[in-house]
Amino acid sequence: MTTATLSDEQKIRNLIDDWATASREGDLDTVMDLMTEDVIFLTPGNPPMYRKDFAAGSAAMKGTVRIEGRSDVQEITVNGDIAICWNRLEVDITPLAGGVTNKRAGNTLTVLRRGNDGQWRIWRDANLLGPPK
């Protein structure tokens, strides 16, 4: 099946998989291409994080940690060029120099926007990741 024949839902699921793979491999360029220029990330107790903040934080971690993410998509709703994804996410961040793995888990609600190039990208993301229960 070519990309052109994939459903919007499958394209979004592929984006989620691509994000996890790129994060695990430390491929910041790919991760950045999976979000819009005006992306905003919302996390509990923190101010909104913009694209430049995400890039700076990710660059600072490059080569110091390994990130492993697992997704369990609960729902994807597509309406025109906007989609909403509810996802149960688990993330392990392990220091490469050794030490304790920081484990986070919780729900995320992501709004994606289809660009003029036809590609889905993350536009808004709110996550409630905390210590796993």
Please check whether residue 132 lies inside any domain of the structure.
no
Residues whose CB falls within 8 Å of the CB of residue 70, separated by 6 or more in sequence, listed in order? 20, 89, 90, 91
Q: Residue 12's closest CA among 125, 127, 129, 122?
A: 122
* pLDDT for 2 beyond 60: no
Q: Is 53 inside any structural domain?
A: yes
Q: Name the pairing type of β-strands 49-50 and 65-79.
A: unpaired
Kindly indicate the confidence band of residue 15, based on its pLDDT and cuts at 50, 70 and 90: very high
The structure tokens 């080569």 sit at 63
- The answer to whether residue 62 sits within a structural domain is yes
Which pLDDT score, from 0 to 100, does residue 128 have?
92
Residue 72: helix, strand or coil by DSSP?
A: strand
Domain tally for the chain? 1
Whether 12 maps to a domain, the answer reads yes
Res 106: pLDDT: 95
Domain range enclosing 82: 3-127
Asked whether the beta carbons of 43 and 129 are under 8 A apart, the reply is: yes
Give the pLDDT of residue 119: 97
- Residue 133 included in any domain: no
58, part of any domain? yes
Query: Is 83 within the bounds of a domain?
Result: yes
**Does residue 103 lie in a domain region?**
yes
Report the pLDDT value the prediction gives residue 86, as an integer from 0 to 100.
98
More confident residue, 1 or 24: 24
Q: What is the mean pLDDT of residues 28-49?
A: 96
Q: What are phi and psi of 4, to 5 degrees?
A: -65, -25
Q: Residue 43's domain is classified under what CATH number?
A: 3.10.450.50
Q: Which residues contact 10 (CB under 8 A, 6 or more apart)?
A: none
Q: State the pLDDT at residue 6.
A: 87
Half-sphere exposure (Cβ direction) of 89: Cα atoms closer than 13 Å: 23
Share of the chain above pLDDT 70, in %: 96
The pLDDT mean for the chain works out to: 94
Name the band, by pLDDT with cuts 50, 70 and 90, for residue 8: very high
